[in-house]
Amino acid sequence: MLTISQIKENPERAIERLAVKGFDGREAITRVLALDDERRQLQLDNDNRSAELKKYADRIGTLMKQGKRDEANEAKAKVAELKEAQKEIAGKLDAAEADIRTLLLSVPNLPCDMVPKGLTAADNVVEREGGPMPDLPADAMPHWELAKKYNLIDFDLGVKITGAGFPVYIGKGARLQRALIQFFLDEAGKAGYLEVQPPYVVNEASGYGTGQLPDKEGQMYYVNEDNLYLIPTAEVPVTNIYRDVILNENQLPVKNAAYSACFRREAGSYGKDVRGLNRLHQFDKVEIVRIEKPENSYAALEEMKMHVQGLLEKLGLPWHILRLCGGDMSFTSAITFDFEVFSAAQKRWLEVSSVSNFETYQANRLKCRYRTADKKTRLCHTLNGSALALPRIMAALLENNQTPQGIVVPECLHKYTGFTIID
């Protein structure tokens, strides 16, 4: 969430940047500042009462030593009165702090200055592109037909076992899925990311820590009896490793990678764009997460983008990078870049990765800080990115690499699959 100091530094700029996300923040910002003034006055009153209590406590001790019991009793009565007043002030202080936190949780992160204005995906900016565009015949098969032809994925069986959006990978399809996961993890390891294997369910505090709560309850699967959530991405448990942690400056940057299954309800999704692997309720993904000093986070963001670009180039897929406009960004992000690959048979671009810098927004929720050389503590910057999400990568690989002889497997995956063509 935003810090009070961010808002107080320039309230009008905060309101202007929130408008880039299509969020009218004037009322919320004004209310936060008013509540903070109230909180500061209550804190001052509380401190004054504490000082008075100390003064009277010292006086009682002196009076008792002097044998002045009546005066000591009068002082004790005053202490009781002050304690009752302080208790009332403390209650108001707690309420003001809770009101500030609740209000701040409802305010999105400020988009950085590089974020273009706009409300929909049509306003996103193509930053760069590359990769060979496949030359396929007009009757090229979409991946769901290829999956059936070569017995790679059974969508109907998934419906039988669970429901739509839960495919079953079979034979070489399962092997190709595992190959992609291991390839992505190995490449992350080469780039200096330490692999962790996180839980697939998280508690409420973890959801609040990374911003899934209270913004995205409707998109997550919820285990009611245990008050736990199935993770929508490994970002949630991995970033929460550093909740309530103060790192030493020499421990930064932190670079973690994690494979996990991801679970998303995708409420409201329908139509042709959800066919096959295009939109699932359960899918596999390798995530990279970084904890950085603020002055280094944008260089780290560019490094992460180059890492994802390198994966797509090794897979031989046509790709482009979109700098998302304010209206198409997430609630928590300061800036996001989406990577899309071209699906030759569907003749459309498919999102396969989002790489984001959250600046201090998640870190403030998480209380993720680092200690500088002069022993001061500062909030970290958090970043994450998909490197990569598998379903649409698999879809593009199947579609773009189809030939009359079968589906050609990219060379970088040969050592993992044990086969070079699916026939």
Tell me the pLDDT tens digit for each residue of 140-156: 999 999 999 999 999 99
- Write out pLDDT tens, residues 205-264: 999 999 999 977 789 999 999 999 999 999 999 999 999 999 999 999 999 999 999 999
Domain 121-422: top CATH class? alpha beta
Among 2, 7, 34, 21, CA closest to 105:
2
For 128, other C-beta atoms within 10 Å of its C-beta total 12
The percent of residues above 90 in pLDDT, for the chain, comes to 87
Cα distance between residue 234 and residue 231, in whole Å = 7
Cα distance between residue 26 and residue 17, in whole Å = 11
Count how many Cα atoms sit within 13 Å of the Cα of residue 41 in the half-sphere of its side chain: 8
As a residue count, the chain comes to 423
Count how many Cα atoms sit within 13 Å of the Cα of residue 240 in the half-sphere of its side chain: 22
What's at 402, amino acid-wise? Q
Residue with tokens 């690959």: 341
Biggest CA-to-CA distance, the chain: 106
pLDDT at 272 (0 to 100): 58
Residue with tokens 């406009």: 325
pLDDT at 313 (0 to 100): 98
Cα distance between residue 366 and residue 279, in whole Å = 30
- Bridge partners for 402 per DSSP: 407
Domain boundaries, the chain: 4-105, 121-422
Cα distance between residue 292 and residue 382, in whole Å = 6
pLDDT at 63 (0 to 100): 77
pLDDT at 270 (0 to 100): 61
Q: What is the CATH number of domain 4-105?
A: 1.10.287
Residues contacting 306, CB < 8 A, separation 6+: none
How many degrees, rounded to 5, is the angle at CA 216 between CA 212 and CA 222?
Answer: 90
Tokens of 364: 């403030």
pLDDT at 267 (0 to 100): 66
pLDDT at 74 (0 to 100): 80
Residues contacting 416, CB < 8 A, separation 6+: 178, 179, 180, 182, 183
Give the neighbor-by-neighbor strand order of the sheet with 377-379: 246-248, 369-371, 377-379
- Write out pLDDT tens, residues 386-418: 999 999 999 999 999 999 999 999 999 999 999
User: Residues 17, 111: contact at Cβ < 8 Å?
Assistant: yes
Report, as ranges of residue numbers, the positions in the chain whose pLDDT lies below 50. Answer: none
* Residue 393: C-alpha distances to residues 273, 285, 315, 399, 410 (Å): 15, 10, 9, 10, 12
